[in-house]
């Protein structure tokens, strides 16, 4: 597969925390055109807290608090009268009904009902929306959104901001010390607040299934913020490796793997993101196809899978029924550090999508028995 | 730091090591390989008595994120496998070139081991690979 952006390591973009990662012993890898930390081998003082590596970083996030750099993601302001209505023409989420100080997960859909990207949209008040999109999709997303805006509504990509995620059961205790009002935010609450002397836009959200926060910060303040967070005894850095295993345990989709233009929100189990009011106006791209799938059921559904034994079954593995007939494909699969067992997600024909249905996964010429399970694999522990 | 390599240990370009004792070769992945792979969570070894060609994919080592094939560095028949690494893959991370051995081969041609790199050659090879 040609990946011209990645061919030359010098051509990789760097986040504002690039030097900081290297100081923490990060192993940097190319991801979506950026040099990103996949895991850390921390210096001795920090290794006593978390020895580093995907397993330890993952478990640190489940038990204490992990700090992720997700500055590669796209951040933008959408401003001007009618910004919410303009965005609603591109997404099935209820954006106009999003109260100030709140954030919502939604999807950019295309005319075929496929998913162009998944994104977070926050109403920061005074008619301003703050959006966060996937790194791999940000150029396409921003062009797509900008092209659909009426006069007076403006999309302003924020290339000069970093995004840090502090995730884990002790994340709130950490942030309470540094910025008490942030720790009082409800789930998916958003507020502009200073942390460690820098103005941040903080949301109580994340991609791990744990309680936690995402902090958008001007690039110039990113390192001071990371240092302030890491100075707290609960916190250890975690890389993209742990981020992926955490999100899969939480049953969350990775764009490009579990959802893409070939999957619809209904097939992907994301019909819950379609606002009640939006199910009356049906005024978003692909609405007719999506509505028909809601009413008569999709041909296939995203499901959780627990393979027997210990062998991880990876993306791309065919899913078979008990008679050996192909019924779907694995889209994400790895070894779950929390469950100490392999887990996977994939799409299967609707008849096979019910909990406890027994299937098999094709692995190195053998059929590994697997059972369909409800998602998430590890219960979410968001703040009430 | 890896232990000082003993003179008879040899290395393949696929990052396996071989230690010869008579016509029996003990095979594992190198310390460099385990570092590159990260925490191992699953190891699958070849069946006893399986006959392997040199370069044949015969075992799998997996981290949380990725699976990697292990190739037979030399031709031979599998005579023993290390159940300890199947039960506890982290043993490979802890001691890749010792307790973390994977399998033993009865070699078709023990002299073929001379075609593999010695420790100095492997160190140079890693440098060349940009490791």
A153 within a domain of the structure (yes/no): no
Task: Give the Å distances, CA to CA, from B129 to A21, A361, B69, B125.
Answer: 23, 35, 19, 6
State residue B65's pLDDT score. 84
Angstrom distance (rounded) from CA B48 to CA A321:
31
What number is the ipTM of this complex? 0.86
Which CATH number fits the domain that encloses residue B14? 2.40.50.100
Of B8 and A265, the one with more pLDDT: A265
A198 within a domain of the structure (yes/no): yes
A59 within a domain of the structure (yes/no): yes
Does residue B7 carry a pLDDT above 90?
no
Does residue A22 carry a pLDDT above 90?
yes
A90 within a domain of the structure (yes/no): no
Question: Residues B12-63: pLDDT tens digits?
Answer: 999 999 999 999 999 999 999 999 999 999 999 999 999 999 999 999 999 9
Residues of chain A in contact with residue B41, where contact means CB-CB under 8 angstroms, are 55, 310, 312, 335, 337
SS3 A58: helix
Shared-domain flag, residues A360 and A220: no
Shared-domain flag, residues A184 and A306: no
B126 within a domain of the structure (yes/no): no
Domain hosting residue A356, numbered range: 301-373
State residue B131's pLDDT score. 58
Q: Do B39 and A311 touch (CB under 8 A)?
A: no
**Mutation site, B46, B50, B65, B86, interface A, largest A CB count within 10 A:** B65
What count of CB pairs under 8 Å joins A to B? 44
Shared-domain flag, residues A61 and A168: yes
Residues of chain B in contact with residue A363, where contact means CB-CB under 8 angstroms, are none
Shared-domain flag, residues A165 and A66: yes
Q: Do A54 and B39 touch (CB under 8 A)?
A: yes
Structure tokens at A70: 């997700």
A131 within a domain of the structure (yes/no): no
Shared-domain flag, residues A330 and A183: no
Closest chain B residue to A55, measured at CA: B39
State residue A4's pLDDT score. 38
State residue B125's pLDDT score. 96
Number of structural domains chain A divides into: 2
Closest approach of B47 to chain A, Cα-based (Å): 14
Closest approach of A308 to chain B, Cα-based (Å): 13
A295 within a domain of the structure (yes/no): no
Task: Give the Å distances, CA to CA, from A135 to A5, A15, A27, A274.
Answer: 13, 12, 19, 23
B35 within a domain of the structure (yes/no): yes
Question: Residues B91-101: pLDDT tens digits?
Answer: 999 999 999 99
Angstrom distance (rounded) from CA A361 to CA A369:
6
CA neighbor of A134 nearest in space, from A3, A1, A31 = A31
Q: At CA B78, angle to CA B74 and CA B80, rounded to 5?
A: 125
Domain hosting residue B20, numbered range: 9-109
Closest approach of A29 to chain B, Cα-based (Å): 12
Write the Ramachandran bin of A319: left for phi over 0, alpha for psi from -120 to 50, otherwise beta: beta
When CB atoms are compared, the residue of B39, B44, B60 closest to A55 is B39
Which CATH number fits the domain that encloses residue A332? 2.40.30.110
Shared-domain flag, residues A240 and A307: no
As a whole number, mean pLDDT of residues A107-113 equals 98
User: Where among A217, A249, A281 does a domain terminate?
Assistant: A249
- Does the CB of A382 have a partner CB in chain B at under 8 Å? no
Query: Would you say A310 and A339 are in contact if contact means Cβ atoms under 8 Å apart?
Result: no
B18 within a domain of the structure (yes/no): yes
- Where do the H-state alpha helices sit in chain B? 31-37, 83-87, 90-94, 119-129
Shared-domain flag, residues A231 and A340: no
Number of structural domains chain B divides into: 1
Q: What is the number of alpha carbons within 13 Å of residue B2 lying toward its C-beta?
A: 19
B22 within a domain of the structure (yes/no): yes
Query: Would you say A221 and A150 are in contact if contact means Cβ atoms under 8 Å apart?
Result: no
Does residue A5 carry a pLDDT above 60?
no
Shared-domain flag, residues A185 and A307: no
Chain B residues with CB within 8 Å of chain A CB: 38-39, 41-42, 44, 60, 62-67
A129 within a domain of the structure (yes/no): no
Residue A259 gets which letter from DSSP?
B
Shared-domain flag, residues A164 and A312: no
Shared-domain flag, residues A164 and A65: yes
For residue B130, name the pLDDT band (cuts at 50, 70, 90). confident
């Amino acid at each position: 597969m040609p990946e011209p952006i990645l061919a030359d390591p010098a051509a990789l973009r760097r986040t504002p925390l690039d030097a900081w990662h290297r100081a923490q012993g990060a192993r940097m890898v190319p991801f979506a055109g950026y040099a990103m930390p996949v895991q850390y081998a921390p210096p001795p003082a920090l290794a006593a807290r978390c020895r580093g590596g995907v397993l330890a970083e993952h478990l640190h996030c489940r038990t204490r608090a992990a700090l992720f750099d997700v500055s590669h993601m796209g951040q933008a302001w959408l401003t001007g009268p009618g910004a919410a209505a303009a965005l609603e023409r591109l997404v099935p989420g209820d954006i106009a009904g999003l109260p100030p100080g709140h954030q919502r997960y939604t999807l950019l859909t295309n005319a075929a009902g496929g998913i162009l990207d998944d994104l977070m949209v926050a109403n920061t008040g005074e008619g301003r929306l703050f959006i966060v999109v996937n790194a791999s999709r940000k150029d396409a997303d921003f062009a797509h959104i900008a092209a659909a805006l009426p006069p007076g509504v403006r999309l302003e990509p924020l290339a000069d901001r970093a995004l840090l995620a502090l995730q884990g059961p002790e994340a709130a205790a950490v942030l309470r010390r540094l910025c008490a009002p942030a720790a009082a935010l409800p789930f998916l609450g958003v507020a502009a607040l200073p942390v460690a002397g820098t103005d941040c836009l903080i949301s109580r959200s994340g991609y791990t299934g744990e309680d936690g926060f995402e902090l958008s910060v001007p690039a110039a303040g990113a390192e001071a913020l990371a240092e302030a967070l890491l100075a707290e005894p609960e916190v250890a850095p975690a890389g993209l490796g742990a981020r992926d295993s955490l999100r899969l345990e939480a049953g969350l989709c990775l764009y490009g793997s579990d959802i893409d233009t070939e999957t619809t929100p209904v097939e992907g189990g994301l019909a819950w993101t379609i606002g009640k009011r939006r199910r009356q106006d049906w005024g978003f791209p692909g609405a007719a196809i999506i509505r028909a799938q809601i009413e008569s059921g999709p041909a296939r559904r995203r499901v959780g899978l627990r393979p027997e034994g210990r062998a991880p079954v990876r993306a791309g593995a065919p899913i078979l029924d008990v008679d050996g007939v192909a019924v779907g494909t694995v889209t994400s699969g790895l070894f779950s550090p929390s469950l100490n067992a392999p887990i996977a997600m994939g799409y299967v024909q609707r008849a096979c999508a019910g909990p406890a249905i027994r299937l098999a996964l094709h692995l190195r010429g053998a059929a590994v028995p697997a059972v369909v399970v409800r998602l998430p694999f590890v219960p979410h522990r968001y703040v009430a | 730091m890896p232990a000082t390599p003993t003179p008879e240990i040899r290395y393949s370009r696929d990052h396996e090591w071989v230690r010869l004792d008579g016509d029996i070769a003990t095979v594992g992945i190198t310390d460099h390989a385990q570092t590159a792979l990260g925490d191992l969570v699953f190891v699958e070894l070849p069946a006893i008595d399986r006959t392997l060609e040199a370069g044949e994919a015969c075992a799998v080592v997996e981290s949380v994120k990725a699976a990697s094939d292990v190739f037979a560095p030399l031709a031979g028949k599998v005579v023993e496998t290390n159940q300890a690494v199947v039960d506890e893959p982290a043993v490979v991370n802890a001691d890749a070139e010792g307790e973390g051995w994977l399998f033993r081969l009865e070699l078709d041609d023990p002299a073929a081991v001379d075609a593999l790199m010695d420790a100095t050659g492997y160190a140079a090879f890693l440098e060349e690979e940009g490791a």
